[in-house]
């Protein structure tokens, strides 16, 4: 299905291993006519979604919670994210190693959270305290702008955007600002999910649905944080075969 020439394709602020931006025009040619909902199962950078005009119903999904948190912050808290990016310096290999250590060991935490929760219990009535505690915990875990900004810098300055080795990549905040704002506007109607493919596909499957899947390729699974093994490849194949909607899968050449 050709893309409308009047639509200006966008570029994601997220660089990602396996990014399909360079071939997305080829992918669009395989989109069926008349589909009524678009679901990106292994969303990654989101460049396939960003390169096409909005559909009436769209879903971006990825199993990587750091990536999903980043897109949620872009959509819901762009100003806070841009401010955090402006204050967060990353100019050398040592800074990169610190970021990588955080994400390798999941060392992100609110250092004052426990103290704040305890003081809340002391100073407020039980009913009031529980309400404040629930809000405080939610704020500490959802839409984590600091985590999102550090993750974005980590992947944009790493070799092949894998977040594993420093690549001395230039980090132009002015250019990145525009990409974030473009994505902010484009993602406003998009549903953002953080689900396994095996949960997401049955949930959104309808006649007329189009699932685009760009899973880890066979024998390249080690390049991704999420575990995707031989059984997952087989499960995805079965889900595609049983699907009521349309399926398009990017894959490597294998038997």
pLDDT band at 124 (very low <50, low <70, confident <90, very high): low
Phi, then psi, of 210 in degrees rounded to 5 = -120, 120
Q: CA distances (Å), 215 to each of 72, 111, 198, 230, in order?
A: 21, 36, 12, 12
- pLDDT reported for residue 3: 63
- pLDDT reported for residue 160: 42
72 within a domain of the structure (yes/no): yes
pLDDT band at 15 (very low <50, low <70, confident <90, very high): confident
**Nearest alpha-carbon partner for 42 in 212, 183, 218, 205:** 212
Phi, then psi, of 43 in degrees rounded to 5 = -65, -40
Q: What is the pTM of this model?
A: 0.76
147 within a domain of the structure (yes/no): no
Q: CATH number, domain at 241? A: 3.40.50.150
Q: Which of 78-82, 123-127, 208-212, 249-253 has the highest mean pLDDT?
A: 208-212
Give Rg (Cα) of the chain: 20
Contact 183, 13 (CB under 8 A): yes
136 within a domain of the structure (yes/no): no
Contact 161, 155 (CB under 8 A): yes
Domain count, the chain: 1
Residue with tokens 């349309």: 246
Domain of residue 40, residue span: 21-77+172-249
103 within a domain of the structure (yes/no): no
pLDDT band at 212 (very low <50, low <70, confident <90, very high): very high
Contacts of 165 (CB under 8 A, 6+ apart): 158, 159
What does the block give as tokens for 167? 């690549």
- pLDDT reported for residue 157: 76
26 within a domain of the structure (yes/no): yes
What does the block give as tokens for 72? 């949620």
pLDDT in tens, 85-105: 876 555 555 555 555 655 555
Rounded to the nearest integer, the mean pLDDT of the chain is: 79
pLDDT band at 236 (very low <50, low <70, confident <90, very high): very high
């Amino acid at each position: 299905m050709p893309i409308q020439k009047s639509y200006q394709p966008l570029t994601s602020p997220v660089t990602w291993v396996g990014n399909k931006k360079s071939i997305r025009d080829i992918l669009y040619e395989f989109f069926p006519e008349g589909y009524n909902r678009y679901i990106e199962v292994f969303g990654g950078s989101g460049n396939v979604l960003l390169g096409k005009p909005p559909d009436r119903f769209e879903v971006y999904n990825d199993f990587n919670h750091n990536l999903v948190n980043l897109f949620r912050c872009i959509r819901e808290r762009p100003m806070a994210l841009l401010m955090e990016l402006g204050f967060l310096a990353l100019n050398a290999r040592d800074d990169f190693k610190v970021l990588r250590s955080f994400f390798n060991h999941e060392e992100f935490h609110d250092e004052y959270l426990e103290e704040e929760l305890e003081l809340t219990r002391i100073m407020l009535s039980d009913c009031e305290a529980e309400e404040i505690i629930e809000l405080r915990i939610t704020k500490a875990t959802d839409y984590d702008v600091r985590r999102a900004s550090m993750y974005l810098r980590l992947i944009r300055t790493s070799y092949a955007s894998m977040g594993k080795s420093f690549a001395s990549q230039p980090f132009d905040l002015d250019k990145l600002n525009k990409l974030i704002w473009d994505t902010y506007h484009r993602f406003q109607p998009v549903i953002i999910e953080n689900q396994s493919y095996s949960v997401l596909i049955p949930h959104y499957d309808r006649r007329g649905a189009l699932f685009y899947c760009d899973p880890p390729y066979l024998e390249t699974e080690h390049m991704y944080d999420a575990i995707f093994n031989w059984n997952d490849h087989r499960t995805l194949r079965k889900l595609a075969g049983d699907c009521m909607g349309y399926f398009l899968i990017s894959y490597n050449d294998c038997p």
